[in-house]
Amino acid sequence: MITWLANPERFTRVFAPIRPYIGGLAAVLFAWGLYLCFASPEDYQQGDTVRIMYLHVPAAWMAMMVYLIMGIASFFGLIFRHALADAAAKAAAPIGAVFTALALITGSLWGKPMWGTWWEWDGRMTSVLVLFLFYIGYIALHASIDDEVRAAKSTAILALVGLVNLPVIKFSVDWWNTLHQGASVVRMDGPTIAPEMLWPLLVMTAAFHALFVWLWLVRIDAEIITRRYRTLRARLSFQ
């Protein structure tokens, strides 16, 4: 199935008609999710601030998931030389970077009323910051190499090295945290989550996923078309 779809033309043909529905689904889910966000009750401890969580948590999940997807696509691009996998990895990067930035910004906005500071150097936030730097490095490297195939290969290697390193960095940051953390900060993961808060979270998560898939498909398609244009244009200079 994957091999069958790895042909860029077939991929375009299969997904182009489905794409608007995915975009529509994302819109509907966002409308529903945002309604639930504001309709849900205040948290007894966090008050209205808890609503930031409905954006923050899915964004943070997506930040990690998109990087994982990039890693998997890079692996396929590197090992099996699938041109589509290269396009998929490249297309996912800026989306992932935006989700990561969103997670950092919403985290910071939530932290101010809750912790009394815009930024707490705790293990989780620091790791997400490093993840953001990975995205920036990936995009910068892709933009710096002129030859597209080489750019795809080099960034794929970078993505895989990053994927292997992320747990190590996460571990080191956690270890550093145990050395330096004095008073413990308020942690948001309580033992249970009330169902009226679970619903908006679930719907928003689904909405983020749909949004990602939609944007991703659009960007992959754009990538395929650009590549096609460039190649044929270069050939035309050779009459």
CA distance 70 to 88: 7
In the chain, the amino acid numbered 100 is T
- Shorter beta-carbon distance to other proteins: residue 2 or 186: 2
Which of these segments, 32-40, 41-49, 108-116, 153-161, binds other proteins (CB under 8 A)?
Answer: 153-161
List the one residue out of 93, 81, 229 whose CA is nearest residue 153: 81
Asked if 108 and 119 count as a contact pair (C-beta separation under 8 A), the reply is yes
Answer for which of 14, 28, 161, 186 binds other proteins (CB under 8 A) is: 161
| 202 interacts with other proteins by CB under 8 A | no
CA distance 23 to 66: 18
**Binding-site string for other proteins from residue 101 to residue 130, where x marks contact by CB under 8 A and - marks none:** -----------------------------x
List the one residue out of 37, 159, 188 whose CA is nearest residue 90: 159
SS3 20: helix
Please state, in angstroms and as integers, the Cα–Cα distance from residue 91 to each residue in 60, 114, 129, 212, following that order.
Answer: 19, 36, 21, 11
Shortest Å distance, C-beta 147 to other proteins: 5
Asked if 204 and 31 count as a contact pair (C-beta separation under 8 A), the reply is no
| 232 interacts with other proteins by CB under 8 A | yes
**How many residues are present in the chain?**
239
Asked if 63 and 100 count as a contact pair (C-beta separation under 8 A), the reply is yes
| 137 interacts with other proteins by CB under 8 A | yes
Which of these segments, 13-21, 56-64, 171-179, 192-200, binds other proteins (CB under 8 A)?
Answer: 171-179
| 83 interacts with other proteins by CB under 8 A | yes
| 64 interacts with other proteins by CB under 8 A | no
Asked if 104 and 139 count as a contact pair (C-beta separation under 8 A), the reply is no
The partner residues of 43 in beta bridges, in order of sequence, read 47
| 148 interacts with other proteins by CB under 8 A | yes
- Shorter beta-carbon distance to other proteins: residue 108 or 154: 154
- Shorter beta-carbon distance to other proteins: residue 142 or 209: 142
Answer for which of 16, 18, 28, 164 binds other proteins (CB under 8 A) is: 164
How many residues lie near other proteins (CB under 8 A)?
Answer: 44
Answer for which of 144, 186, 198, 222 binds other proteins (CB under 8 A) is: 144
Q: Give φ, ψ of 43 to 5 degrees.
A: -80, 140
Point out which residues bind other proteins (CB under 8 A): 7-9, 78, 83, 130, 133-134, 136-137, 140-141, 144-145, 147-150, 153-154, 157-158, 160-162, 164-165, 168-169, 171-173, 175-176, 179, 227-228, 230-232, 234-236, 238
